[in-house]
Structure 1
């Protein structure tokens, strides 16, 4: 009798355990399915960049500061500092200075061109304005400092971007009548012994005739020095007395919406540029299929191994200073398993 009761008890316990196990299993399956259906998210503290091939910022208020130049640093040492800033999982950023300043980066793996999807993001520090004095503004804006993006596929597998392998990402302003192709600008090294020219109205400027520049459109002017950044604005590891940059100049995007020089809004272009929209915005993502050659013909690249980013505007925004593209990394969206449809 006791044995019979024990058997019944064992059966009951086994049955209860089976139900519990089934319930647990069902719950786990349900949870797993929910997790599988959750879209992956991107960590904006990680970059797929593994090499900096070239780094040449233009004159700018953050040049020699982001990354930090130390007296005696060579071009190679500054490239190493740039790589440390925009690779791995402890990102900071690099500033490219005024128009034309650039960085060229590479990767361990080709970023694939997947039809119908955007393929990579260039990380920057763009953000939307919390408020805008112009309540009728239709475009999104805030601090958007657009950089032109060029891409190259290593067709001959020599490990470097050859000059004939570069193609431009044709963003939204590519056919804008105000966009200037083959725009060139030259910046002159400032004379440290020159007396600063003070503007009694604009108190933010400590020298309104600091760095002289001229372009191939017959224009010239000065990049002012502001009170917020007092280091040398000309890249100190460059020995030449002047530096010249050539590329596609985008329309100016900065507007003094206050009318008094106190509230500048840098408006975002629709798509296709670096540092033009916040990192978590889909319009910061790039489709390799947007790449075109100098004649505007589609490049039809299978992927990209190298990316060049350069500041795409030549403008001053009052006390904000020159518009300078910042870069903090590049993310391969396919490696990150993030799907963003193209336009």
Structure 2
């Protein structure tokens, strides 16, 4: 009897060795086993100015836009921190599968380095690859409408330009108040400070142009000075819906794909997402803390976690 069972199994294996005999269930199981719950690729990395720019990841002489993208990818794949710099600096990353939009559940955990009273919120956009071309096309991006979405202090279509620091400003040791000039489309302009703690260039060194521009949704300032000492600055977290806003283990670090809205602010329903874009949502400095810069360390599919 045992020999007969072995023979039947052998016949079955031979008959079903072709692709046509594979069951949907078996294919589905194989996909589940091979899918990674974390980031697998970085498509773009474009930080703005910042005290950690050229350090996270490290710029080395000869690096290009592409080599810095690769460095950012290597970091996020390992859940290591990269900086986005000041307002508008961004990263675009993707996964090896579509993250499902599960009803009434949060779908993705966004990793950063936030901790109590040190939130540096980044705006999150998501994209579903509806045409399956492996790229996030412009009409596929939708913003995650966080807790400040209806705040009247929010400025939509905000645009800022940063100008390369002079050689003198770069070489001056210690704090430099008038380090980097900037101006925006709201009639504001001024200088970004170079602090005493980080003396490398704050301008992305692989960028050849003498100015860089960014645009997006500007969130309300969250910096609060709670005392008279230089250590009294706090960066308050928003309620929900932003990157680098809560510690990674907190529910506040997760998002629901159903929070996505179109450019007119209308809710949209996506079956899932393939790509995420995050950019720094604040244009502020907080005393000795310097500029507010969103940091990202990857993302996790909560349905595979």
Cα distance in structure 1, aligned partners of 2:41 and 2:96: 8
Count of residue pairs the alignment pairs up? 270
Shift of 1:260: 3.5
Does the 8 A contact of 1:58 with 1:100 survive in 2?
yes
Which residue matches 1:166? 141
Deviations for 1:138-189, whole angstroms, at most 9, x for unmatched residues?
A: xxxx110000000000000000010111000000001101010000000001
Q: Does 1:64 align with 2:33?
A: no
Shift of 1:197: 8.3
Which residue matches 2:224? 255
Does the 8 A contact of 1:61 with 1:233 survive in 2?
yes
Deviations for 1:96-122, whole angstroms, at most 9, x for unmatched residues?
A: 000000000011001110000000011
Cα distance in structure 1, aligned partners of 2:67 and 2:111: 23
Which residue matches 1:138? none
Pick closer, same or farther for the CA change 1:319–1:98 going to 2, 3 Å.
same
- Secondary structure, counterpart of 1:193 in structure 2: helix
Does the 8 A contact of 1:197 with 1:208 survive in 2?
no
The runs of 5 or more residues in structure 1 that have no matched partner are 1-45, 129-141, 199-204, 337-343
Q: How does 1:11-26 map to 2 (within 5 A)?
A: none
TM-score (normalizing by structure 2): 0.86
Which residue matches 1:230? 199
Which residue matches 1:109? 97
1:277 alignment partner, one of 246, 254, 257: 246
- Secondary structure, counterpart of 2:207 in structure 1: coil
Q: How does 1:198-209 map to 2 (within 5 A)?
A: 206-209=175-178
The runs of 5 or more residues in structure 2 that have no matched partner are 1-35
Shift of 1:259: 2.9
Deviations for 1:300-319, whole angstroms, at most 9, x for unmatched residues?
A: 01111010000000000010
TM-score (normalizing by structure 1): 0.77
Deviations for 1:181-209, whole angstroms, at most 9, x for unmatched residues?
A: 000000001111348889xxxxxx61000
Which residue matches 2:12? none
Cα distance in structure 2, aligned partners of 1:215 and 1:153: 31
Q: CA-atom RMSD, angstroms?
A: 1.5
Pick closer, same or farther for the CA change 1:84–1:216 going to 2, 3 Å.
same
Does the 8 A contact of 1:47 with 1:86 survive in 2?
no
Runs of 4+ with deviation above 2 angstroms: 193-198, 259-262
Pick closer, same or farther for the CA change 1:224–1:175 going to 2, 3 Å.
same
Does the 8 A contact of 1:196 with 1:208 survive in 2?
no
Rg larger for: 1
Cα distance in structure 1, aligned partners of 2:192 and 2:293: 12
Cα distance in structure 1, aligned partners of 2:195 and 2:150: 34
Deviations for 1:269-321, whole angstroms, at most 9, x for unmatched residues?
A: 00000000000100110000000001111120111101000000000001000
Which residue matches 2:185? 216
2:261 alignment partner, one of 292, 298, 304: 292
- Secondary structure, counterpart of 1:76 in structure 2: helix
Cα distance in structure 1, aligned partners of 2:131 and 2:79: 31
Which residue matches 1:188? 163
- Secondary structure, counterpart of 1:305 in structure 2: strand
Q: How does 1:62-101 map to 2 (within 5 A)?
A: 62-87=52-77, 90-101=78-89
